[in-house]
Amino acid sequence: MSDVYWSVTNVILPGKPTPRLDHFSATLTSRPTAILGPSGSGKTSLLNVLAGFEQPQSGEVKPQFIKATNRLPLFWVPHTWGLWPHLTVQAQLEKVVTPPTTLHIERMLQAFDLFPLKSKYPHQLSQGEQSRVAVARALVAAPQVLLMDEPLVHVDPARAPGYWEFVREWCQSQQIALLFSTHQPEVALREAEEVLCLKEGRLLFQGSTQDLYQSPPSEELARYLGPTNWFAAEEVSIWFENPNNTIQHHRPEQLTWQSDASGPCEVEQACSLGALQEVDLHHPEDDLRRKVWLRSTNQSFIAGQRGFLKALLLLLGICLFSGCGSAEGVVLPVESTRYWMLPKDGYALPAPRAMGMSKEQNVLVLDTGGRVLIYTLDGKELRHWYMPEHDVGKPEGIIQLQDGRIAVADTHYHRVVFFNEQGDVVSMLGERGDKPGQFIYPVSITEDQNENFYVCEYGGNDRIQKFDRDGNFLLSFGGFGTADNEFQRASGITWHDGRIYAADAINNRIQVFTEEGKHLATWGSTEHPLELNYPYDIAAGPEDVFYVVEYGSGRVTKLNKQGQLLARYGSIGTGLGQFNTPWGITVDQQNNVFVADTGNRRVIQLNQ
């Protein structure tokens, strides 16, 4: 739905020394909308006017949505949270709940980790706790329109995405139109379909979040959605490899540094900012200096290192996977994507770790709570169960075998556990050791067309063992090291067309073997160059393509059956098209890709 909810026309809200809103005009729809701008830009003032808390000196604020008779038309969460000092946390929710949502109070307390706090009063809560209560209270009221001023800003970054996931799902299920202000670009990118950019009480931009991210009209507006690299027309020929390049705007994931002893530029200093790297460059010939932001990789920057900037070709999400041809060096932004968080486990919010695909084309997930979860392709949970034991550590590999059993690499218990489709344990294989049929840390499982299965392991016993369908040992290959047929943290494996493909994580490569363990090729060697950064898992897709998830670079790499690079996409971070220590990957029959975005505690679904 995208109905017009408000028309704001030529509004002036006085302030000292300048108006807080200055001839402000905008049309607000029911689409999730973020209001962006620096402090003092008018974000809070606009929300106050929309909520009716303040009246403009002139102009018109006209609500255009039809008010329902059985629910609140509007709920407002101010930046001070507005909690009632004489009511406990639970009473705050009970005060606003309407009969249709009475049963949701307990769910709201669970979703925002408020159960231990439900009997406390506002003065007994931290700022982060108060902000969670304020948002929970607003949601349980189930208004038609929800206005929130800097919601969840004081919540720790590790838990905020999970709370936002609940806000999003609740607003969708209750048909609540959401309008919120934020200073956090990643929140706007993740949660808003539309953005309003304010400055000094005026509207600078209104439009699609993705349009502003990919094609901003100016450098100033580009920075509303995070760091960017903007070059004046005359600068492009100075800093870039291609002097004919005419693109002035490059997000960090769209730009890279190419080391070259004959390059025109040199590195002065570089600073890692986690997902990004801040690099100061010098152009000695013209004595020019500038700062650039690049996505973090394993690339090292040394003062005095010469080279040039290289623009990475951008393709729209529609050609992420098909019709793009060879794409050496291409970084593809993820635009057509959806994601979901896993259900809470008590007060904990587990993260996905391993992925698999069932015979019925359901998504198999292992999480850090020790659970096996099964989802439909559109993210609906069908069922879940717990591993027999999970206090010592969590499992890291899952597959459904041709006979219907679900096999799990129970990594820290040195075994493979076999379940039926209902989650009952039917058998186990292995114990700690380095003999045939024993494991140190089994991490991934695959199966060939003859129902033999293969288990790879790490922990100094880095090898792949082959078993028949009954678990009888057949052979093993590999060992610890850096040579061919050796591994340093054998991580993910997949079978395809008579061959075994193994992700050799610390050695930054993929090794290819026959079903009998004969080494055929190494993708990422001198003979077969391929840049990989801690490849943790590999999955075979339709049409003889492979997808590799790179833990170290926060990206997914697409390869053909010869190991040639077709495309890359993703970067390290929490926003759209970004991953944080992604761990596992799987592909369905339609070539849709599912990634365990472990650090961000979410499953990412990339649709063709």
List pLDDT tens digits, range 240-287. Answer: 876 566 677 888 888 888 888 888 899 999 988 877 889 999 999 889
**Three-state SS letters, 29-74:** ECCCEEEECCCCCCHHHHHHHHHCCCCCCEEEEEECCCCCCCCCCE
Residues 408 and 458 grouped into a single domain: yes
Give the separation between CA 53 and CA 44, rounded to whole angstroms: 11
Inter-residue contact 114 to 108 (CB < 8 Å): yes
Instruction: Clarify whether residues 122 and 252 are in a common domain.
Output: no
Signed CA dihedral, 38, 39, 41, 47: sign only: positive
Cα 608 from Cα 603, distance rounded (Å): 16
Residues 58 and 136 in one domain: yes
Position 318 scores a pLDDT of: 28
Which of these three, 183, 205, 224, is where a domain ends?
A: 224
Q: Is 512 helix (H, G, I), strand (E, B) or coil?
A: strand
Contacts of 66 (CB under 8 A, 6+ apart): none
Angle at 291 between CA 287 and CA 297, to 5 degrees: 125
| Identity at 6, one-letter amino acid code | W
DSSP 372: E
Domain of residue 124, CATH code: 3.40.50.300
Do 353 and 258 share a domain, yes or no?
no
**Closest to 493 measured CA to CA, from 476, 473, 472, 471:** 476
Do 483 and 597 belong together in one domain? yes
SS3 558: strand
Within a domain: 395:
yes
Determine, yes or no, domain membership for 326. Answer: no
pLDDT at residue 426 in the model: 98
Q: Residue 201 carries which side chain, given as an amino acid letter? A: G
Do residues 440 and 490 touch, judged by C-beta distance below 8 A?
A: no
Residues 267 and 403 in one domain: no
297 and 210 together in one domain: no
Cα angle, residue 525 at apex, residues 524 and 531 outer, rounded to 5°: 30
Our CA angle for 306, 311, 316, nearest 5°, is 160
Query: How much is the pLDDT for 102?
Result: 67
pLDDT of residue 469: 96
- What total of structural domains would you count in the chain? 3
Domain endpoint, select from 224, 255, 271: 224
**CATH code of the domain in which 251 resides:** 2.40.50.140
Choose one of 224, 253, 275: the last residue of a domain.
Answer: 224
Q: Do 201 and 261 reside in the same domain of the chain? A: no
Contacts of 181 (CB under 8 A, 6+ apart): 34, 35, 36, 37, 43, 44, 46, 47, 148, 149, 150
pLDDT of the residue at 576? 65
**CATH code for the domain in which residue 454 is found:** 2.120.10.30
In terms of DSSP bridges, do strands 145-149 and 74-77 run parallel, antiparallel, or are they unpaired? parallel
Residues 296, 388, single domain; the answer is no
**Residue span of the structural domain in which 344 resides:** 336-607
Question: Are residues 255 and 191 part of one domain?
Answer: no
pLDDT at 276: 85
| 320 domain-assigned | no
Q: Is residue 540 part of a domain?
A: yes
Which residues in the chain land under pLDDT 50? 1, 313-329, 331-335
**Residues 306, 422 within the same domain:** no
pLDDT digits (tens, 9 = 90+) for 331-383: 444 445 778 889 888 767 889 999 999 999 999 999 999 999 999 998 999 99
pLDDT at site 201? 93
SS (H, E, C) 93-135: HHHHCCHHHHHHHHHHHHHCCCHHHCCCCHHHCCHHHHHHHHH
Q: Percentages helix, strand, coil for the chain, rounded to the nearest 5? A: 15, 40, 45
Residue 325 tokens, joined: 């041809």
Based on the domain organization, do 183 and 268 belong to the same domain? no
Give the per-residue pLDDT at 116.
92
Task: Say if 331 falls within a structural domain.
Answer: no
- What is the pLDDT at residue 2? 52
Residue 328 forms part of a structural domain: no
- Has residue 327 been placed in a domain? no
- What local confidence, expressed as pLDDT, does residue 579 receive? 87
Q: Are strands 535-541 and 545-550 parallel, antiparallel or unpaired?
A: antiparallel
In a domain, 321, yes or no: no
